[in-house]
Amino acid sequence: MPFIPHTENDTREMLAAIGAKSTEDLFDEIPAELRIDYLHEVPEALSEMEISRLMRGRAAMDGSPLCFIGAGAYEHHIPTAVWDIATRGEYYSAYTPYQAEASQGTLQTIYEYQTMITELTGLDVSNASLYDGASGLAEAALMAVRANRRVKTGLILLAPGVNPVYEHVAEAIAGSQGLTFEWLPVDATTGNVAFDQLPEGRNPVAVVMQQPTFPGTLEDVDRLTDWAHAEGAFAIGIANPMTLALLKAPGNWGEQGVDIACGEGQPLGVPLSSGGPYFGYMTCKQQHVRQMPGRIVGRTTDLDGNPGFALTLQAREQHIRRSKATSNICTNQGLMVTAATIYMSLLGAEGIAQVGRKSHENTARLVDGLCAIDGIERLYKGSYFHEVALRFDRPVAPILEALAAKNILGGYDLTGSAGTDALLVCATETKTDADIDACIAAFAEAMG
């Protein structure tokens, strides 16, 4: 029997000890009319050899196209050691480290992760991660409402550069708790916030901004952070952690830095894998730590006075506080955090900066090549990191289809959110000059 060790003799002896005739007897408290004896939609079992063949066939259907899509998830080289170690059984098949003495490996790894992510974001404290970047914004908004007690409006203002899906998710998760989300006005030439049209006297509890923005531009986050604070609001900064070895850390935006930073951790060693599992990071200033959701690891000492690690500040959490908890969140994305920690350790700050510089350079090569094609130009003026929005003189979808037929995924169709025919492209360090030139040539041909 797959994954069940019992011999017939074992089963017989165990039933005898229980005083039952068959395993069926063990279900005798379940009302008979509720019982079923057949599952119609579940096929017969496959052996490991059979399922392996099936899955390899399915994987081949998806292929390995040359991918220039970013839009919140980014292809980066992942060192072999990252997942070799993260999938060791001792990490992979361990539970949440509630029994601290038997979980020092996971706990120290998280403590090291917390250190690394606070270094990147320039803030004081980190939790052990949230589900993903999008849901992390919902948690950050709820946290701002708890921590910024003077403001009772529940109003969250979003810079136009915030990933639109993050707004949908935040609304779905936090909307029923009296929070409202509103967009700040956009400057059509830069794609960034229109500073001369910022609303006055709205009394927002938090202002959310993203760097780099969803359409790839670089926002004046210093000025926006200062404006948020002048309005009495918290500043929440969303940043791609991969960019933070080069770009200014959210903790240093403006005069005082943001109050909470959050974002998608996937670029740090987590495979694209159709959208998950990823992890959301969250860091904040020291004074707000008791309002932070999720697990947190602290360093302490044991009975002999030796240092060790344990989950701490658990009085915030659902298993203690129940209906009064800071969040219903129970899981963190432990395995992904383990991978990210190993990734950051292998690359170091200089390696991550190098990945960022190369991704920037590759994207510049791609954008320059594409903009030389008639009918393609940049949608917004200004600087970018490793992703750029392009305006097309015709619908994008048929062009993307033509490229896909050549096994090139040309970018993310922005037409819906930009209100014009537009495409978002990204070329990370994984692309060679030849890859990029092939992509440009395919666009040129499709644009005919």
Partner 1 sequence: MSELIFEKSRGGRRAFAQAPVEARSLSIPEQFLRDDQPRLPEASELQTVRHYTRLSQKNFSIDTQFYPLGSCTMKYNPRACNALALLPEFAGRHPLGPVSHGQGFLTCMYELQEMLKDVTGMKGVSLTPMAGAQGELAGVAMIKAYHDARGDTERDEIIVPDAAHGTNPATATMCGCTVKEIPTGSDGDVDMDALKAVLGPKTAGIMLTNPSTLGVFERHIKLIAEMVHDAGGLLYYDGANLNAILGKVRPGDMDFDVIHMNLHKTFSTPHGGGGPGSGAVGVNQRLLPFMPIPVVTKREKDGETFFDWAAEDDIPQSIGRLSGFMGNSGVLLRAYVYMRMLGRDGMQRVAEFATLNANYLMVKLRDAGFELAFPERRASHEFIVTLKHEAKDYSLTAMDVAKALLDKNYHAPTTYFPLLVPECLLIEPTETESKETLDNFVAAMIEIVRAAKEDGVQYKEAPYKMPVRRLDDVKAARELNLRYKPE
State which of positions 164-223 bind partner 1 (CB under 8 A).
165-166, 168-169, 171-173, 176-178, 211, 218, 220, 222
Q: With binding defined as CB under 8 A, does residue 312 bind partner 1?
A: yes
d(CA 321, CA 315): 6
Q: What is the enclosing helix (H) or strand (E) of 335?
A: helix 334-371
Residue closer to partner 1 (CB basis): 196 or 306? 306
Q: With binding defined as CB under 8 A, does residue 387 bind partner 1?
A: no
Q: How far is the CB of 232 from partner 1 (least distance, A)?
A: 25
Q: How far is the CB of 238 from partner 1 (least distance, A)?
A: 11
Report in angstroms the alpha-carbon separations of 254 from 96, 212, 281, 347.
37, 16, 21, 29
- Residues in CB range of 169: below 8 A, 6 or more apart: 134, 135, 137, 138
Residue closer to partner 1 (CB basis): 204 or 356? 356
Reduce the DSSP state of residue 377 to 3 states and report it: strand
Q: With binding defined as CB under 8 A, does residue 227 bind partner 1?
A: no
Q: What token pair was written down for 47? A: 């052996």
- Residues in CB range of 90: below 8 A, 6 or more apart: 105
Residue closer to partner 1 (CB basis): 201 or 307? 307
Work out which of 183, 287, 321, 377 binds partner 1, going by CB under 8 A.
321
- Residues in CB range of 25: below 8 A, 6 or more apart: 15
Q: With binding defined as CB under 8 A, does residue 434 bind partner 1?
A: no
Q: With binding defined as CB under 8 A, does residue 369 bind partner 1?
A: no
Q: How far is the CB of 315 from partner 1 (least distance, A)?
A: 8
Binding to partner 1 (CB under 8 A) within 52-111 occurs at 52, 54-65, 67, 69, 71-73, 75, 77, 79, 81, 83-85, 87-97, 99-106, 108-109, 111
Q: With binding defined as CB under 8 A, does residue 225 bind partner 1?
A: no
Q: With binding defined as CB under 8 A, does residue 155 bind partner 1?
A: no
Reduce the DSSP state of residue 235 to 3 states and report it: strand
Residue closer to partner 1 (CB basis): 302 or 393? 302
Burial of 401 (0-12, 13-18, 19+ CB in 10 A): exposed
Reduce the DSSP state of residue 226 to 3 states and report it: helix
Q: With binding defined as CB under 8 A, does residue 30 bind partner 1?
A: yes
Question: Rounded to the nearest 5 degrees, what angle is found at the Cα of 71, between the Cα atoms of 70 and 75?
Answer: 25
Binding to partner 1 (CB under 8 A) within 108-147 occurs at 108-109, 111-112, 114-116, 118-120, 122, 124-126, 128-129, 131-135
Q: What token pair was written down for 132? A: 């993903």
Q: Which of 371, 407, 365 is nearest to 386 (CA)?
A: 365
Work out which of 159, 162, 347, 396 binds partner 1, going by CB under 8 A.
347
Q: With binding defined as CB under 8 A, does residue 443 bind partner 1?
A: no
Reduce the DSSP state of residue 423 to 3 states and report it: strand
Residue closer to partner 1 (CB basis): 409 or 447? 409
Report in angstroms the alpha-carbon separations of 424 from 33, 106, 281, 350, 437.
56, 38, 24, 27, 17
Binding to partner 1 (CB under 8 A) within 244-263 occurs at 244-249, 252
Q: Taking CB under 8 A as the rule, which mask of x and - marks residues 267-286 in contact with partner 1?
A: ----xxxxxxxxx-------
Work out which of 152, 319, 381, 394 binds partner 1, going by CB under 8 A.
319
